[in-house]
A and B are shown apart, each in its own frame.
Chain A
Amino acid sequence: MNLLEVLTIPKDDAIAFTFFTGYMAMLAASIFFFFERGRVDGKWKLSLLISGLITFIAAVHYYYMRDYYLATGENPTVLRYIDWTLTVPLMCVEFYLLTKAAGAKASLLWKLIIASVWMLVAGYIGEAFNPEGGDTGHSVMWGVLSTLGYIYILYTAWFGEVAQLAEASNSAVVKRGVRTLAWFVLVGWAIYPIGYMCMPGGWLNTAFGWGSENVDLFYNIADAINKIGFGLVVYNIAITSTESAKTA
């Protein structure tokens, strides 16, 4: 009985809908990446494992977040940030693994992880410790600090070490793959600040009246695009490289 109550989704609740579809999509993507791992060359297996882990960790968190949301109607902020704290650094690991063959050092990995954790911690403080009713100064300050981390990762992916290593890799597949991932950082990751600005005191909340419920709507859409899309790009690189190695 209790379970049935939890699983009741209002027809007009787009957020609950995206929580459920997000959960299933993440789970399906994980199974896909884990199974397909067997089809790619040894050097790509770890990358596909990471892709599968990213979507699997997200799927587990989505399982809890959808129930939390349906039971309370509130933003599952803590669960959300626990999910991101685990999955976003793993996305940085993907960048590192892709460029490792071209000479990427562990320092690159650590710089990306530190930038991503900085971005998330600042975002978490901005969101979780936002005073009752919202405080624009608070959300602006932590939003700006979080953005600095994002800008660093964006620079690294487009011009910095990651881009330079991809260019030096002499592999058209890696070059194209890194560029596509850089596009995800530019466009896909840019959806998150839209959600952030919907919380009480946030710009979109104050200026346009976009309610705090939209925070989760944007985050769910962004997660689906970035986590599954990111994994699919890595999968595409792995499978293309494996097939071209076979035909060579």
Chain B
Amino acid sequence: MTKAIFFFIACLLLTLPFVFNAGEISLSNQLLITTPFLLILGIPHGAIDNVLYLRNNAIKNSHFIGVYLVFVGLNVALWLVLPSIAYILFLLLSAYHFGQSQFSHYFNKQPLSHQALYFFWGIGILSALLYLNIEEVHNIMNQHPEFATFRPLHQEKDMLLLFLSSNFISVALMLYLGYKKYLKVETIFMELVVVSLILICFYLLPLLIGFSLYFIILHSYKVLKEEYIFLISEKEVKSFLKFLAMVAPFTLLSVFGIAFLFALIYFELLSLSYGYCLLIVISSITLPHVFVMNKFYALVFSKKANQAAI
């Protein structure tokens, strides 16, 4: 068990009774509860993409940021022209990224079988989130006209099929990797427990609270810890405070950026709902982040492989 898994179990056990006691929680209240945690712990894990990428690539920081912004711009354009494609792309990339961070500490290389596991594990989790909260998802789509475009992508039967098939494939891949000695039997058991807990979390908790609990603890906290350990080992940072100072600028920039966009919406200078705007922003940050993290994990794996060889 990793500490992230332990924190997840502890938080889930302590959150469940309170949420149950609170009764139905509206989407806006869910946003109010989860946003501070997402800002404090969610955004920072992607706030040092430039530092991580520059560790192993001969490129200037300004060039990196320039390319990063081009990706962000292209993604925003895709959302404006083909929102359904942008939405699917966002989900697929997120799925791969979630799976990669979930299994990163077990591996020191990532052949196709490992990457397939990342992908199907992530699809399994995201389809579970949508299927197990299908009523809430449909309500959001009914209430906000921008989301109505995605309604055909969220038919209950299709979601169930996707949920069952992707989870079945991811379990089969875990067993295959166990057979190939990439994963220990205990590891497979632990991952099955984790998947079960995530599904329970998504089923019992409201959409945003359930997802935030998973995202903040099992994903962001774990990735932040990996980044910190890597930068310490590379002597890029010497203390946790220095790490915080490194993470702070782009975290604050993102927070102020989101606040600025929300202000535009508030003063009716931007005709979007807050939720839809947030989705575009998160998706636009995610797109380059997934590529950077893929490179980062490749670097971490090669380092682990070199150490194992020594």
Contacts and interface: CB of A to CB of B under 8 A. Distances in A.
A140 B193 contact: no
A188 to B, nearest CB: 12
A149 to B, nearest CB: 11
B10 interface: yes
Nearest to B16: A203
Given A147-B14, A158-B1, A140 B6 contact: no
Given A155-B6, A159-B3, A147 B21 contact: no
B1 A147 contact: no
Contact of A140 (B9, B10, B20): B20
Nearest to A137: B21
A203 B1 contact: no
Nearest to B9: A154
Interface string B191-212: 0010000000000000000000
Contacts of A207: 20
A163 to B, nearest CB: 10
B20 A203 contact: yes
A159 B6 contact: yes
Secondary structure call for the B interface: helix
A125 interface: no
Contacts of A144: 14, 17-18
Secondary structure call for the A interface: helix
Given A186-B1, A186-B193, A154 B6 contact: yes
A140 B17 contact: yes
A187 interface: yes
Contacts of A155: 6, 10
Interface string A179-208: 100110011000001000000000100010
A136 interface: yes
B13 interface: yes
Contact of A158 (B6, B20, B193): B6
Given A154-B6, A186-B1, A140 B13 contact: no
B8 to A, nearest CB: 12
B21 A136 contact: yes
A80 to B, nearest CB: 21
A144 B11 CA distance: 11
A148 B16 CA distance: 13
Contacts of A203: 16-17, 20
Contacts of B3: 159
A162 to B, nearest CB: 13
A179 B185 CA distance: 13
Nearest to A152: B10
Contacts of A136: 20-21
Contacts of B21: 136-137, 140
B173 to A, nearest CB: 23
Nearest to A140: B17
Contacts of B18: 140, 144
A151 B13 contact: yes
A148 to B, nearest CB: 8
A26 B130 CA distance: 44
Interface in B1-54: 1, 3, 6, 9-10, 13-14, 16-18, 20-21
A89 interface: no
B195 to A, nearest CB: 14
A231 interface: no
Contacts of B189: 183
Contacts of A177: none
A122 to B, nearest CB: 12
A150 B1 CA distance: 16
A159 B21 CA distance: 31
A143 interface: yes
Interface string B268-308: 00000000000000000000000000000000000000000
B6 A147 contact: no
Interface string A154-187: 1100110000000000000000000100110011
Interface string A204-216: 0001000000000
Interface of A: 136-137, 140, 143-144, 147-148, 150-151, 154-155, 158-159, 179, 182-183, 186-187, 193, 203, 207
9 contacts: A136-B20, A140-B18, A147-B13, A154-B9, A155-B10, A158-B6, A159-B6, A193-B13, A207-B20
Nearest 10 pairs of A and B residues by beta carbon:
A140-B17, A151-B10, A140-B21, A203-B20, A147-B13, A158-B1, A144-B17, A143-B17, A136-B21, A144-B14
